[in-house]
Amino acid sequence: MPQSYAYFSPGESCRQAINNHINSAKKNLKICVFTISDDMITQAILAAHHRGVAIQLLTDNDKLLDLGSDIIELRKAGINVKVDNTSNHMHHKFLVTDDSSIITGSYNWTRSAAKFNYENIIVSTEQTLVHDFIIEFERLWNLMSDYNVAV
């Protein structure tokens, strides 16, 4: 039976829900976020990568080189990263875990989001929603540019 839950920040509940889903991944993670600068989330992603979980990461070029951004670290670890290099923003914030659940909402994957900001996420296993997010992810994946850094 599909289930959905809401989480709110400031506080640890959003970050904890994201990390729980990353930690539970068995096959794959499709991550589509404006930026990542929360080291706790980054460490969970790296741990999943080291467990053999296939990870695809879509992000925006605008925050890519900001102080604190973890995108380069993730790419150097061997995670497949694609970047929106257009003048527009890839401003989504969602995660698909094992093609069976999604996390989406206003929550930025940053330290400030957990500590200060009023934000939210929704976690759902409703398969129509999951399917729609997979389709959007794949559409964007095909549009974005590979991000390569010296590793």
- Which residues are tagged catalytic? 91, 93, 98
Cβ-based neighbours of 16, under 8 Å, separated by 6 or more: 7
Nearest to 90 by CA among 38, 142, 32: 32
CB 41 within 8 A of CB 14: no
SS3 59: strand
Strands 119-124 and 101-104: antiparallel
